[in-house]
Amino acid sequence: MKLNGYHLLAAAVLATTLAGCGKNENKGFANVNGSPITNSELIEYLETKQTIRANVNGQVVNVNVQDTLAFQALQDMVVRKLVIEMAKKEGVLPTMDEVNTHIKLLGDVTPAFVQNLQNRGLSMKGIREQVQVDLAQQNLIAKGITVTDAEVDEYIKVNKAEFQDPAKAEMFWIVANAQSRPQADAELTKGTKFEDVAVKYSIDPEAKATGGKFGSRQFVGGVPLTTLAPSFQSEVAKTAAGKTTAWVAIPNQQGMFAKFFVVKKTEARDQEITPARKALVKQGLAVARGKQTKDIQDKLATMLREAKITVEDDALKGLWEKFDENLKKQAASTQVPTSPTGQ
């Protein structure tokens, strides 16, 4: 039973973007050499986009999505509304004061908590709203459950490995193929700065935006080595700060290679068991215990089927109607018929 589940929904950034765009569809979202990209253009693109770039084991890959990004965001936002509604009915909806206290608690344990989310595009308003949903769901599951301080201390004692910060590294990287590798190596041999070579030659789509820095959008203060692919992890682990790794084949990307420049390394270390960390452990234990006897997913599914949901957007309306129809079919197929006497 691992208690690291204090993460926000993956679609939070996209959902926030869509919510903001809807206010003025003709407002400029961006501008390219004098040519505007309007919010309406962005929304229409998201409504049909079926691939995304994802970070998998430290590498950026293109993956297909089910339906579209906009439809997934719509589903997430509907569920968020239902979670808030359910928490209100059960008297466990966190107030904004409680949300702010929880954000501070998370920040005390992970100082870069807010900064990491802001780097992904979330405003403080968006962070508060998502934390309220996350906390409401935890409150629903943990309602009526009490965890003692002694139980918290025992959990920490038995699960020491869980309370250790992994080794980290701050790095730049170059992603290259067989054709661009010699060019990058020639520049490095001449003494060109690694990050300049990364910006010029790297195939990584974010190289120019990040100056070649690896994991800068996801992590503040270094990338945990445990998040890297095993081949990356072993190469970085044996490379001293200020040094460059050899070229490493990128898993599942035939003909693609990566080279890292290690700026700084931080060894693994035990976390300080602060009151804030204990508070999160206590909450996590209550949620874990509640999951054994409660399944709010069933309640959410029922609310979803019974909710009056109107989708006005033409591109999403058909997808939602099909989704709603499938929900009702699944519910009908899982119902157990009873006899007229109820026995």
pLDDT tens digits for 132-149? 999 999 999 999 999 999
Q: Are the CB atoms for 165 and 271 separated by under 8 Å?
A: yes
Same-domain pairing of 249 and 228: yes
Residue 307 to residue 302: CA distance in whole angstroms: 8
Same-domain pairing of 99 and 186: no
Q: Which of 43-57, 205-219, 289-303 has the highest mean pLDDT?
A: 289-303
Same-domain pairing of 244 and 313: no
Q: What angle do CA 288, 289, 293 make, to 5 degrees?
A: 115
**What does the pLDDT read at residue 334?**
66
Q: What tokens does 87 get?
A: 């928490």
Same-domain pairing of 202 and 253: yes
Residues of the chain with pLDDT > 70, as a percent, come to 87
- Domain containing 261 equals 167-267
Same-domain pairing of 233 and 283: no
Residue 297 to residue 299: CA distance in whole angstroms: 5
Give the CATH number of the domain where residue 58 resides.
Answer: 1.10.4030
Residue 180 covered by a domain:
yes
pLDDT at 58 over 60: no
pLDDT at 175 over 80: yes
Q: Between these two residues, 20 and 236, which has the higher pLDDT value? A: 236
> Average pLDDT, stretch 14-41?
62
Among 267, 290, 319, give the residue marking a domain's end.
Answer: 267
Q: Are the CB atoms for 241 and 262 separated by under 8 Å?
A: yes
State the distance between the two ends of the chain, measured CA to CA, in whole angstroms. 38
Among 244, 267, 290, give the residue marking a domain's end.
Answer: 267
Tell which residue, 215, 205, 209, has the closest CA to residue 236.
Answer: 215
CA distances, 30 to each of 38, 187, 196, 270 (Å): 7, 34, 26, 44
Same-domain pairing of 237 and 223: yes
pLDDT at 235 over 60: yes
Residue 141 covered by a domain:
yes
Mean pLDDT taken over the chain: 84
Among 241, 267, 293, give the residue marking a domain's end.
Answer: 267
Same-domain pairing of 200 and 127: no
pTM as predicted:
0.67
Residue 343 covered by a domain:
no
pLDDT at 96 over 90: yes
Residue 7 covered by a domain:
no
pLDDT at 152 over 90: yes
Band the pLDDT of 56: cuts 50, 70, 90.
low
Q: What is the identity of the amino acid at 165?
A: D
Same-domain pairing of 295 and 147: yes
> Average pLDDT, stretch 71-98?
94
pLDDT at 99 over 50: yes
